[in-house]
Structure 1
Amino acid sequence: MTSGEIVTARHIVIRGGVQGVGFRWFAREEAGRLGVAGWIRNSGDGSVEAVIEGTDAALEAMLAWLRVGPPAASVTAVDVTDAVPSGSRGFRIDR
């Protein structure tokens, strides 16, 4: 992102067969490719939770990827809500 670009954020919960399939690692790679910041983690209920920040175009591309996930994943639902940008730099996997 360059200075002056509008940054927005989304909170996402991905459900289905999304744990134990490398979802978080693949998501980190995709976020880096797209210039998206934020974090991703496994949740206790079997879902994967993330907060992503970036331009609208970058977030739409990341959301499109999250709706499918890596080859071994089986995404059944993706819940997206607006979030407040925190100014994150980079994309990390939380545990």
Structure 2
Amino acid sequence: MRNSRFIFVVSGIVQCVGFRYHTRKQAQALGISGYAKNLSDGRVEVLAVGDIVQINTLYDWLQIGPASAKVDRVIKREIEDTNEQMFSSGEFKIL
């Protein structure tokens, strides 16, 4: 089965509130590979690679985030190709 690949860009109060840490915890529990990184404009970018059902579960969680965050918007974009060699299967990094 081919893995699905999505980039999410999360807006709101999502930096300096543990958002990336909690995203990694959620992704690891779902068996999703990828990363979460802060963007210079205050948003957080999340790359998620894995089963589409699990990715959709992560997407639902990203729209709420941890209690310390206030999510205003999540942009979801499917991508065709990514450098999957930057992480092992099930590995989710904080960049």
**Counterpart residue number, 2:45:** 49
Q: Using structure 1 for the length normalisation, give the TM-score.
A: 0.89
One-letter identity of the residue aligned with 1:92: K
**Counterpart residue number, 2:70:** 74
RMSD: 1.1
Assess if the C-alpha contact under 8 Å between 1:35 and 1:54 holds in 2: yes
Assess if the C-alpha contact under 8 Å between 1:18 and 1:48 holds in 2: yes
Task: Tell me the matched-pair count.
Answer: 90
Q: Using structure 2 for the length normalisation, give the TM-score.
A: 0.89
Compute the displacement of 1:91 (Å). Answer: 0.4
Kindly report which structure 2 residues correspond to 1:1-95, keeping only aligned pairs within 5 A, or say none. 5-83=1-79, 84-87=81-84, 88-89=87-88, 90-94=91-95
Compute the displacement of 1:7 (Å). Answer: 0.6
The 1:56/1:85 distance shift into structure 2, 3 A limit, reads farther
> Match of 1:75, SS?
strand
Gap runs ≥5 in structure 2: none
- CA deviations 1:4-31 (Å, max 9, x no partner) are x321100110000001110000001101
Q: Which runs of 4+ in 1 moved over 2 A?
A: 84-89
Gap runs ≥5 in structure 1: none
Compute the displacement of 1:66 (Å). Answer: 0.7
One-letter identity of the residue aligned with 2:74: V
Compute the displacement of 1:85 (Å). Answer: 4.5
> Match of 2:59, SS?
helix
Assess if the C-alpha contact under 8 Å between 1:7 and 1:85 holds in 2: no
One-letter identity of the residue aligned with 2:67: P
